[in-house]
Structure 1
Amino acid sequence: MSLDQLDTAIVHALDVDGRATYARIGSVLGVSTQTVARRCRRLRDTAGLRVIGLPDPEQAGLTRWLLRITAAPAGARGLADSLVRRGDTQWVKLVSGGTEIFAIVNATDDGDSARAMLLHDLPRTASVHAVRAHCLLHSYFGGPSAWRGRRDSLDEAQQAELTEPQPRMPFAQIRPLHAGDGPLLTALQRDGRASHVELAQATGWSQATVAHRLAELRSAGSIYFDLEIDAAEYGVRTHAMLWLAVEPAHLDTVARELAEHPEVAFVGAITGPSNLMVNALCGTPAELHAYLVTRIGRIDGIRGVETTPVLRTLKASSPIPDRRRSHP
């Protein structure tokens, strides 16, 4: 399947507001509500389109760890699948010929789950040869900031029309994220477009309480809505993780420059010899080569780059995997 102009416009609209009604999207795009709904169903079935709600990691008290696990070829896929099933992982990928697994682990402030995985679970797995763990110190681009490759279909006026103003609430009156929000967050991680009726069933709250709490959390920036869709639908055939060693004095400048590149879907400062990680999306290996040589290679302060190609994404941004589709 290849996306047509209306498909890309609908995806861009959902990137602007993942919970925008089909009627509002249709009004902005000049098509019927039924057309938008039909297209979204088709995109879900053929391209893995999915809106998910996620907590702001800092407000949720989460520390994110980027794991690079080297495993025996025969056991790598099984280990990756076990990571997919965990509720604290995101972006589980098979990279580097299928013998390396990349995963993001969300650890609470106490860090118990991350310590258990790193010190107990993974070392006891016979197929694991080595584990490298990098703490994500700062995210420069990604998460609420969507990849620009899917955000070029709507003009500024259309985007403004889709941006639903959130009710202004005095900050002192907004309750921060707490354990009682767990069922709501879990439901939104499964389906960010779940109706108030569905969210009420998941939480045991009234629809009015769901609507108020959702508005409260959005107003405070405590949650945001992300979009999952197969990047191949946008011509991406070459996906790579770039591990950059950057001189500390240049780290912030380099990261901010990379965050403006259209090839980049994520930029984060991390611990370790490679202190900056970049997720790059390109059309072909030749385009990736050109990007590394003509863009990355000309930035002052970068001492070295390790490139690991992504073979398959088994789990995307939601901690709850989409069982209906395996992302290539």
Structure 2
Amino acid sequence: MAGTSMRESIAIQSDDVRIVRALQVAPRASFASMAVALGLTEGTVRRRYRRLHADGVIRVVGVVNPGALGQSRWLVRLRCRPGSAAAIAGALAKRDDVNWVALGAAGSEVTCATQSRDQAQREELLGRRLPRTAAVLDINAFAMLRQFMGGRGHYWAALQGTLTPQEEAVLGGDVPPFTESPAVADAPADLTAEDEKVLDVLTADGRASLVDLAAAADSTPGRVSRRLRVLLLQGVVHIDVEIAPAALGYHARANLWLRVHPAEVKKAGRALAREPEIAFAAAISGPYNIHAVAHCRNLDELFEFTSDRIGGLPGLQSMEVSPVLRHVKQAGTLLSGDRLVGPTSPRAT
């Protein structure tokens, strides 16, 4: 499947996009509930969902918020020798403590996000393993300080308006809305052995039934339902709808590195979070104090977006636009070409 363009093999219909939006609103809703909200038959919703999943357009997965567990998160930029970046990106994507990986700069740069349960794990990767890799010419690591957009059940705003407010109200949904938060919680949550088993199943399938979750945890559906509700409300886990952007016509992705006046960082970050092209935005350490990820339909749209709207952010002093050549991993999900192909491990977060 690698190297095959989605545009050559997948025809996305309007009802497919409506189903994707319905999943964003209520990722664990039953097919019957979605059918009622969308005015389709249950069989149609089930069939279209399974096709979207099989074709690598979407995956519904449980994603653990590392900050809620006291884990630090870092963004890392690696400058690599020509011809070596793809192999380095592939090796990083296999690690549980690396949850997204992208190739850029014509294949000579790797950008990734790491999350470490402890300082020793972080130092093993950033302090020893990567510096000793001969193909890595330069390493820059930035601590994530405040998250403005992305994760914990946020909706990719590009799909807003796909459903009517009435349709979304019928779906309901039990995912708390995204709220700006520190990157690491002051009081980290403690996961029980039962929680860990439930999360392992959700990592593979965010729509796994309560019966399946209970069987994995050697518990009851009622107990698992109550505990999952608590974990969702506490932000320990969110049920994420991973989307292959190219399937919806978004073929230009870019990492944005912004230098903003310190007094304007919060205001600029919150403004970014309101832009429909932005899928992630956070305040970070280092010479650039805001990092964001943008999805646009093409490079011309990316140019218009960054020059007109990002260029007008309060306090913006400079900006680097780094187009993504290829995504290797996103939110723990590996990609092959334009397609989502699955998690890397039982707990790929």
Scaled by the length of structure 2, the TM-score of the pair is: 0.85
CA–CA distance in 1 between the matches of 2:119 and 2:57? 32
CA–CA distance in 2 between the matches of 1:162 and 1:316? 27
Aligned residues of 2:328 and 2:336 also touching (Cα < 8 A): no
1:170 maps to which residue?
none
2:253 matches 1:248: no
Aligned residues of 1:51 and 1:225 also touching (Cα < 8 A): yes
Instruction: Count residues with an aligned counterpart.
Output: 318
1:186–1:74: structure 2 CA closer, same or farther, 3 Å change rule? same
2:319 matches 1:305: yes
2:126 maps to which residue?
118
2:146 maps to which residue?
138
2:346 maps to which residue?
none
CA–CA distance in 1 between the matches of 2:46 and 2:190? 32
CA–CA distance in 1 between the matches of 2:300 and 2:210? 47
CA–CA distance in 1 between the matches of 2:282 and 2:107? 24
1:35 maps to which residue?
44
Kindly provide the CA deviation profile for residues 219-275 of structure 1, in whole angstroms up to 9, marking residues without a partner as x. Answer: 433321111111012211111001000000111111111111121111110000000
**Structure 1 stretches (4+) deviating beyond 6 angstroms?**
322-325
1:98–1:204: structure 2 CA closer, same or farther, 3 Å change rule? farther
1:36–1:188: structure 2 CA closer, same or farther, 3 Å change rule? same
Aligned residue identity for 2:98: T
Aligned residues of 2:80 and 2:109 also touching (Cα < 8 A): yes
RMSD value, Cα: 2.2
Kindly provide the CA deviation profile for residues 84-111 of structure 1, in whole angstroms up to 9, marking residues without a partner as x. Answer: 1111111211111111111111112x32
Query: What residue ranges of structure 2 are gaps of 5+ in the alignment?
Result: 1-9, 176-187, 342-349
Cα offset, 1:284, TM superposition: 1.3
CA–CA distance in 1 between the matches of 2:161 and 2:98? 30
Aligned residues of 2:328 and 2:335 also touching (Cα < 8 A): no
CA–CA distance in 1 between the matches of 2:14 and 2:128? 50
Aligned residues of 1:236 and 1:281 also touching (Cα < 8 A): yes
Aligned residues of 2:76 and 2:141 also touching (Cα < 8 A): yes
Cα offset, 1:216, TM superposition: 2.6
Query: What residue ranges of structure 1 are gaps of 5+ in the alignment?
Result: 167-174
Candidates 191, 202, 223, aligned match of 1:178 = 191
Name the SS of the counterpart of 1:123 in structure 2. coil
Scaled by the length of structure 1, the TM-score of the pair is: 0.90
CA–CA distance in 1 between the matches of 2:214 and 2:35? 27
Aligned residues of 2:258 and 2:319 also touching (Cα < 8 A): yes
Name the SS of the counterpart of 2:318 in structure 1. strand
Candidates 74, 90, 94, aligned match of 1:85 = 94
Aligned residues of 1:18 and 1:193 also touching (Cα < 8 A): yes
2:223 maps to which residue?
209
2:167 matches 1:158: yes
Candidates 306, 317, 322, aligned match of 1:292 = 306
Identity %: 34
1:182–1:324: structure 2 CA closer, same or farther, 3 Å change rule? farther
Aligned residue identity for 2:295: L
1:186–1:285: structure 2 CA closer, same or farther, 3 Å change rule? same
CA–CA distance in 2 between the matches of 1:266 and 1:317? 12
CA–CA distance in 1 between the matches of 2:43 and 2:190? 36
Deviates more, 1:295-304 or 1:234-243: 295-304
1:199–1:241: structure 2 CA closer, same or farther, 3 Å change rule? same
1:227 maps to which residue?
241
1:25 maps to which residue?
34
CA–CA distance in 1 between the matches of 2:33 and 2:173? 10
2:142 matches 1:128: no
Aligned residues of 1:47 and 1:233 also touching (Cα < 8 A): no
Name the SS of the counterpart of 1:153 in structure 2. coil
2:213 matches 1:199: yes
Deviates more, 1:304-313 or 1:153-162: 153-162
Cα offset, 1:126, TM superposition: 1.5
CA–CA distance in 2 between the matches of 1:184 and 1:323? 27
Cα offset, 1:324, TM superposition: 11
